[in-house]
Amino acid sequence: MKTRFILLICFSMAITAMGQYYNVAEDQVEVGIVEKLDSILPLNLEFQNEDDQTTSLGSIIDKPTILCFVYFDCPGLCPPLLAGVSELIDKLDMQLGVDYQVVTISFNPKDSPVKAKEKKLNYVTGIPENDRKHWIWLTGDQNNIATITESVGYRYKPQGVDFAHPSAIIALSPEGKITRYLYGLTYLPFDAKMALIEAQKGIARPTINKILDICFAYDPNNRTYSLQITRVAGAFLIIVALTILIFLLVKGRRKTENKA
């Protein structure tokens, strides 16, 4: 009984410590994603589309939307992310422009509509010409960029002429509500379809593979993700402690039943 009591105390302390650790880590995130599910985007924000027309987010977002952030001269994550989105559009058994749309926003205020149009051409060659207008590319000033990125919890950091930034796409409802984050550079059509169906209904769901954002940190120097040993070890210790606790409780209950 004494052993089980001590183990229970240790387990509770580990859970508390880990909880405090992740809360502090989230508040201090400089590069990464801080999920803001169920939040509504500031739809009054205005940007320039690839045709150099001023448009507000509210005038664009009227159906389930896949949102992604990039900058056009990115030498690292942005090109494969955009290629992943292009591949997803090709494989998704949903009609672009009817069932959903895609919005790409540059978080570099130096990017222009002209450059947006040039970059877009690299990724829409496999999309029917009449449907290409439903993948919207936006640029804007620093204030609006800062507002929209912070509203979705997208944290990035300048690194010289480049930026350290995460890689993810975000599902939005027709009302601009954040309903799902999908991490990485490639996306399974099934996952994206379910995210868009839920977005249509306004249902927010946590992301299963967010473990990548917890266990890995972005290295801006190498533009890669490195394993966070302390986090993984902490999570592993909690699992081990929980397993031992359950084993001892079950074992103790069986002894009690046998004595009876």
Using the structure block, give the residue that is written with the tokens 């159906």: 63
For the chain, what is the domain count?
2
pLDDT tens, N- to C-terminus, the chain (260 residues):
555 555 555 555 454 444 444 444 556 778 899 999 999 999 999 999 999 999 999 999 999 999 999 999 999 899 999 999 999 999 999 999 999 999 999 999 999 999 999 999 999 999 999 999 999 999 999 999 999 999 999 999 998 889 999 999 999 999 999 999 999 999 999 999 999 999 999 999 877 655 444 444 445 455 454 544 445 455 555 566 667 767 766 666 666 666 65
215 belongs to a structural domain: no
Q: Are residues 68 and 139 in the same domain?
A: yes
177 belongs to a structural domain: yes
63 belongs to a structural domain: yes
Q: What is the CATH number of the domain that holds 60?
A: 3.40.30.10
219 belongs to a structural domain: no
The token pair that represents 217 in the structure block: 């940190």
For residue 97, CA distances in Å to 59, 199, 227 come to: 14, 15, 39
Q: Are residues 14 and 111 in the same domain?
A: no
For residue 84, CA distances in Å to 130, 180, 243 come to: 21, 17, 39
Q: Are residues 88 and 39 in the same domain?
A: yes
Cα–Cα nearest to 76, from 11, 160, 200: 160
Convert the pLDDT of each residue in 98-117 to its tens digit: 999 999 999 999 999 999 99
Q: Which domain holds residue 7?
A: 2-27+226-259
How far, in whole angstroms, is CA 141 from its chain's centroid?
23
For 193-223, give one letter per residue: b (16+ CB within 10 A) or e: bebbebbbeeebeebeeeeebeebbbebeee
Q: Are residues 195 and 69 in the same domain?
A: yes
Cβ contact 174:200 at 8 Å:
yes
216 belongs to a structural domain: no
Convert the pLDDT of each residue in 27-82 to its tens digit: 677 889 999 999 999 999 999 999 999 999 999 999 999 999 999 999 989 999 99
Q: Are residues 94 and 10 in the same domain?
A: no
217 belongs to a structural domain: no
86 belongs to a structural domain: yes
> What backbone torsions phi and psi does residue 205 show, to the nearest 5 degrees?
-130, 140
**Residue 25 confidence (pLDDT):** 52
What is Dmax (Cα atoms) for the chain? 81
Q: Are residues 43 and 15 in the same domain?
A: no
